[in-house]
Amino acid sequence: MSEVLGGYTLTKHFGPTTALAGVDIAIGEAEAVAIMGPSGSGKSTLLHCLAGIMKPDSGEVHLMGQRVDNLGERRRSALRRTRFGFVFQFGQLLPELPAEENVALPLMLGGVSRTQAVRQARDWFGPLGLQGMEGRRPGELSGGQAQRVAIARALVTKPAVVFADEPTGALDQSTGHDTMRLLVEATKHNGASLVVVTHDPNVAGWCDRTVEVRDGRLSGSAVPDQTFTQLLPGVQA
Amino acid sequence: MNATLSLAWRLLRGGGRRGLLGTWLTFGAVAVSTALLLFAISANLAFDARAERGAWRNPVAAKSGAVAVQATRLDYVAGRPITVVDIAALGDRAPAPPGLPRVPAPGEVWLSPALRELARELPADRLAARYPEQRGTLGEEALVHPEELVVVAGHRPDDPAMKSRDRDVAMGSVKPTRVASFAGTPTDDAIGYRILALIAGVLMVVPLLVFGGAAARLTVARRDQRLAALRLVGATPAQVAGMTVAEAMLVALAGALAGTVLYGLAAPLLTRIEIGGGPWYTADLWPPVWIVAVALAGVPVLVGLSAVAGLRRVVVSPLGVAKRETPPGLRFVRVLVLLAALIAVPVLSRQAGVAVIAGALGLAFLSLNLVGPWVVAVIGRVTAARARRPGTLLAGRRLVDDPRSAWRTVSGVALTGFVAGFLGLLSPSADLLGSPDRHQLTLAVPAGQAEKAAAEARERLAVAGVRAEVETTKGGIVAALGTGADQAVTDRARTALEGLAPGHTATTEAEDGSTSAQVLKDVGTGTVVVLAVSFLVAIASAGITAASSVLDRRQTYALLRLAGTPLEVLDRARRSETLIPLAVMGGGSIATGVLCALPFMYAAMNVRGVLTLVTCVVLGFGGVLAAGALSRPLLRSVTADPAPRPD
């Protein structure tokens, strides 16, 4: 499995607090990796550094072999828009836009015409079980439906990596289960890698590999692990 | 109650940086609203005060017990009108007229301070020679405004000037009238100005109240999550409502106080706005204490009520704020309401009476306020349907989502724009009625005396060194001064002819039309003032809307930015959200006014009026943009904060 995204000896401090203390991590192609750890362990900081949201104090981040952590804010922003997709706990959909326009927005931002963007966006509704929801606004969707719209939005630009921060945190267990299954399947189907930050071992269970962050350091496998993937239930690699 | 108040105070202080920002925005909005409200009320009271002070010159005929004969006419100097009040006491029972220590004796004249000053400045043969026996200066209570030119002249009761049959009924004149007192009654012109002021007041106050109410709900919007949490831990609806009202009212009281101070500081500048040919006495624009007291008590109460309305959802259900649903669509029935009002208003207005007219106007504006949001929603739908860029799409969808918020920003400009556009282009002078003559003085003389008067006029003008051709006409004489005659020559000729026909003034055609021109000019000035106020409301409202839109969507904005959405797109959406309806409705209404005025432009364009209008519009649009841009740092700060969780 070739490496898509890698972080090397990443460190990050917030005042006297050390969030990352020299973390090394590699994400393989179409691999799903769960980052777990207790509150305050540094797992969200790791996700933010890998996704180019935050600059690490030291260390490097590489995407497809190219260094990206030293890019300026504008280029990192463009990188996030075109090469990465994001799914958050909740509140990421614009309440005024109907679901299909929320999904089409990243394409329009990338210069795709509106008609084309909406057409492409609609293609995601069927596979994600959202038929008939295209014109609904986020307030008219259930939590699970809203998360599926968010998944469609994250994948519509065909990103290399999808980052998910507690994607099922606001959902009940059964809906969370369905949402995770869709997230993992759709991401893999799309050929993208997935990085999920979670507290929940059930969520981590959907991923090929789990790394644990404690006091800014990783425990668990920092590199792609085929055997680990094969032990997991329900994943079609 | 004490516990509620102290918790409200703690909530207010401990609201965090962004909570406090909401509080500051409410404070600012209430301050601006209060200041403008005081202005709208004071302006109306000021017109009342002017009407009252000018009433004594408009005599009411005595049914019995007349103590004096009183008449009024207009004289002119340097292109400005002089109000001449002729008084003849009947016996010694006549009281002192306003601004005078006693009734002037025959031959005596009393001048207003401005006229006295002008008489001193100009050569005697232009003005001072008309008043050989100056006795003193008129007090403020006799004058409409500080720059007014007024002269009160004493006569014998048998003086020809005091005989009804010998007086003409020129514009601004009142025939000799036997009066029992000098109370008089407000002139038709003064009543007309009061009605116009009332219209202007309604135009300013309606958007203000709507905007003030919205600002009040801003405090609630910042707090609703926390108050919902209070409900969840068992606070009763009454406690939640009490806390909210207390908090909103505390802020509103502070805002109202600041607004009063703001108005106090601005009042001296506002007195310089010239209406009716002159500026204002400071006291006129100073609201009475009871008005200030009512504003200081009323504004917080209104804000409190508005806050309760905004909170209803939270009180009804602790989960009320968590869900966001599609707002119910605005129905076409709103347009039908406007049509009904458009039919009802003219019918109602036929009944005379200020209260009825004010009620009808209020009805019309409220109907427009019902239709405004509907039109905004239509604009939003069209914008969204045609949008190609994400920023425009977002702006269009937001207009559909909350058309009332955009209407609050643009309503004032949309309502005033038409009149401002219409009057801005028109030249406020008698030129509207063609090209009046400025070089020919006409003087009415009693029947059968025209020849004699013409001969004396020729003699008097020759002595004064004024070259003129004097001829008799039906009802009087005409002195043609020639096209080379300037204002000074006209004044000298008029001074020379003073007293030739007692009770009459020699005037040019242009001067006869100047009263109408003055009214038109005043309506133009008033409209610009209302337009400026509307733009101020629009600017404040745009600032509030922009900031509250950022605060309301802070999480979504932050997450969108994390996902790589450029800040400019979000910013452009916010800008378009205000600019599109402002340009379509405000700009459209001004442009319609301008188009409607084009057929009336016989003469030259009113360059000054156009410049004023353009300046007002440019400053207004610029201000709205700047107010929106003010929240850009806020947008940056809420989005630069990438999920500030330490883990």
pLDDT (tens digit per residue) in B74-121: 999 988 999 999 999 998 888 999 999 999 999 999 999 999 999 999
Q: Model confidence over B162-179: pLDDT tens digits?
A: 886 555 566 678 888 999
Contacts of B234 (CB under 8 A, 6+ apart): none
Share of chain A above pLDDT 90, in %: 57
DSSP category for residue B108: -
Q: Model confidence over B20-48: pLDDT tens digits?
A: 776 787 788 889 889 999 999 999 999 99
Out of A220-229, B56-65, B231-240, B484-493, which region has the weakest mean confidence (pLDDT)? A220-229
| Arithmetic mean of pLDDT over chain B | 81
A32 close to A196: Cβ distance less than 8 angstroms = yes
Q: Is the ipTM of this complex over 0.85?
A: no
Residues of B with Cβ-Cβ distance to A150 under 8 angstroms: none
Residues of B with Cβ-Cβ distance to A19 under 8 angstroms: 646
Residues of B with Cβ-Cβ distance to A78 under 8 angstroms: 564
Q: Counting beta carbons within 10 angstroms of the beta carbon of residue A84, is it exposed (0 to 12), middle (13 to 18) or buried (19 or more)?
A: buried
Residues of B with Cβ-Cβ distance to A139 under 8 angstroms: 323-326
| Range picked from A5-19, B301-315, B476-490 for highest mean pLDDT | A5-19
Neighbours of A172 (CB within 10 A): 10
Query: Helix, strand or coil for residue A43?
Result: helix
Q: Do the strands A58-63 and A217-220 form a parallel or antiparallel pair, or are they unpaired?
A: unpaired
Residue contact A42–B647, C-beta within 8 A: yes
A179 close to A148: Cβ distance less than 8 angstroms = yes
Q: Which pLDDT does position B218 carry in this prediction?
A: 65
Residue contact B563–A17, C-beta within 8 A: no
Q: Who has greater pLDDT, B385 or B647?
A: B385
Q: Which of A47, A50, A44 is nearest to A67 (CA)?
A: A50
Residue contact B647–A38, C-beta within 8 A: yes
Cα angle vertex B252, ends B203, B536, to 5°? Answer: 35
Q: Which pLDDT does position A21 carry in this prediction?
A: 92
What's the fold here for domain A29-54+72-211?
Answer: Rossmann fold (3.40.50)
Q: Is the pLDDT of residue B289 over 60?
A: yes
Residue contact B564–A80, C-beta within 8 A: yes
Query: For residue B563, what pLDDT band results from cuts at 50, 70 and 90?
Result: confident
Flag whether residue A163 sits within 8 Å of chain B, measured between CB atoms: no
Residues of B with Cβ-Cβ distance to A138 under 8 angstroms: 324
Residue contact A95–B560, C-beta within 8 A: no
Cα-to-chain-centroid distance, residue B438: 32
Residue contact B564–A82, C-beta within 8 A: yes
Flag whether residue A20 sits within 8 Å of chain B, measured between CB atoms: no
Out of A222-236, B42-56, B551-565, which region has the weakest mean confidence (pLDDT)? A222-236
Amino acid at B263: Y
What secondary structure does DSSP assign to B21-58, as a single string? HHHHHHHHHHHHHHHHHHHHHHHHHHHHHHHHHHGGGS
Flag whether residue A92 sits within 8 Å of chain B, measured between CB atoms: yes
How many whole angstroms separate alpha carbon B570 and alpha carbon B194? 47
Q: Which pLDDT does position B290 carry in this prediction?
A: 93
Share of chain A above pLDDT 70, in %: 92
Q: Is the pLDDT of residue A44 over 90?
A: no
Q: Is the pLDDT of residue B359 over 90?
A: no
Residues of A with Cβ-Cβ distance to B566 under 8 angstroms: 74, 77, 81, 109
Q: Model confidence over A60-76: pLDDT tens digits?
A: 999 999 999 999 888 88
User: How many angstroms away from the CA of A177 is the closest CA of chain B?
Assistant: 23
Residue contact A95–B553, C-beta within 8 A: yes
Residues of B with Cβ-Cβ distance to A92 under 8 angstroms: 556, 559-560, 563
| Arithmetic mean of pLDDT over chain A | 88
Q: Is the pLDDT of residue B598 over 50?
A: yes
Query: For residue B246, what pLDDT band results from cuts at 50, 70 and 90?
Result: confident
- Mean pLDDT over A11-26 rounds to 92
Residues of B with Cβ-Cβ distance to A44 under 8 angstroms: 643, 645, 647
DSSP E strands in chain A: the ranges are 3-14, 17-28, 32-36, 58-63, 66-67, 84-87, 161-165, 193-198, 209-214, 217-220
Query: For residue A234, what pLDDT band results from cuts at 50, 70 and 90?
Result: very low
Residue contact A106–B563, C-beta within 8 A: yes
Q: Which pLDDT does position A227 carry in this prediction?
A: 39
Q: Which pLDDT does position B115 carry in this prediction?
A: 95
Contacts of B571 (CB under 8 A, 6+ apart): B391, B632, B635
- Mean pLDDT over A164-190 rounds to 90
Q: Who has greater pLDDT, B313 or B68?
A: B68
The count of residues in chain B is 647
Out of B197-206, B359-368, B528-537, B543-552, which region has the weakest mean confidence (pLDDT)? B359-368
Q: Which pLDDT does position A135 carry in this prediction?
A: 93
- Mean pLDDT over B514-534 rounds to 82
Contacts of B608 (CB under 8 A, 6+ apart): none
Residue contact B325–A139, C-beta within 8 A: yes
How many whole angstroms separate alpha carbon B442 and alpha carbon B473? 9
| CA closest to A136 among chain B residues | B326
| CA closest to B385 among chain A residues | A114
Residue contact A137–B642, C-beta within 8 A: no
Q: Which pLDDT does position A1 carry in this prediction?
A: 65
Residue contact A109–B565, C-beta within 8 A: yes
Query: For residue B645, what pLDDT band results from cuts at 50, 70 and 90?
Result: very low
Q: Do the strands B469-473 and B68-77 form a parallel or antiparallel pair, or are they unpaired?
A: unpaired
Residues of A with Cβ-Cβ distance to B323 under 8 angstroms: 139
User: How many angstroms away from the CA of B395 is the closest CA of chain A?
Assistant: 9
Q: Model confidence over A180-203: pLDDT tens digits?
A: 999 999 999 999 999 999 888 888
Which of A46, A96, A118 is the best mutation test for B, with the most CBs of B within 10 A? A96
Residue contact B559–A92, C-beta within 8 A: yes
Flag whether residue A84 sits within 8 Å of chain B, measured between CB atoms: yes
User: How many angstroms away from the CA of B345 is the closest CA of chain A?
Assistant: 38
Q: Is the pLDDT of residue B369 over 90?
A: no
Q: Who has greater pLDDT, B291 or B6?
A: B291
Residues of B with Cβ-Cβ distance to A14 under 8 angstroms: 646
Q: Is the pLDDT of residue B286 over 50?
A: yes
| CA closest to B642 among chain A residues | A53
Q: Which pLDDT does position A98 carry in this prediction?
A: 93
Side-chain-facing half-sphere of B357: CA atoms under 13 Å: 15
Flag whether residue A9 sits within 8 Å of chain B, measured between CB atoms: no
- Mean pLDDT over A208-235 rounds to 66
How many whole angstroms separate alpha carbon B57 and alpha carbon B54? 6
Flag whether residue A135 sits within 8 Å of chain B, measured between CB atoms: no
Q: Is the pLDDT of residue B288 over 70?
A: yes
Out of A211-215, B124-128, B308-312, B574-578, which region has the weakest mean confidence (pLDDT)? B308-312
Flag whether residue A165 sits within 8 Å of chain B, measured between CB atoms: yes
How many whole angstroms separate alpha carbon B46 and alpha carbon B42? 6
Query: For residue B192, what pLDDT band results from cuts at 50, 70 and 90?
Result: confident
Q: Who has greater pLDDT, A94 or B334?
A: A94
- Mean pLDDT over A132-160 rounds to 92
Residue contact A77–B566, C-beta within 8 A: yes
Contacts of B261 (CB under 8 A, 6+ apart): none
Residue contacts between A and B (CB atoms, under 8 Å): 101
Q: Which pLDDT does position A226 carry in this prediction?
A: 47
Residue contact B556–A92, C-beta within 8 A: yes
Residue contact A114–B393, C-beta within 8 A: yes
Q: Which residue in B323, B565, B647 is closest to A44 by CB distance?
A: B647
Flag whether residue A91 sits within 8 Å of chain B, measured between CB atoms: yes
Flag whether residue A106 sits within 8 Å of chain B, measured between CB atoms: yes
Q: Model confidence over B123-136: pLDDT tens digits?
A: 999 999 998 888 89
Out of A16-25, A112-121, B444-453, B592-601, which region has the weakest mean confidence (pLDDT)? B592-601
Residues of B with Cβ-Cβ distance to A97 under 8 angstroms: 393-394, 397
Q: Which pLDDT does position B119 carry in this prediction?
A: 93
Whole-structure pTM value = 0.74
Q: Which pLDDT does position B501 carry in this prediction?
A: 85
Contacts of B273 (CB under 8 A, 6+ apart): B279, B280, B525, B529
Out of A133-142, B387-396, B429-438, which region has the weakest mean confidence (pLDDT)? B429-438
Q: Which of A135, A132, A161, A163 is nearest to A150 (CA)?
A: A163
Q: Which pLDDT does position A77 carry in this prediction?
A: 87
Q: Is the pLDDT of residue B314 over 60?
A: no
| CA closest to B554 among chain A residues | A91
Q: Which pLDDT does position B345 carry in this prediction?
A: 62
Flag whether residue A81 sits within 8 Å of chain B, measured between CB atoms: yes
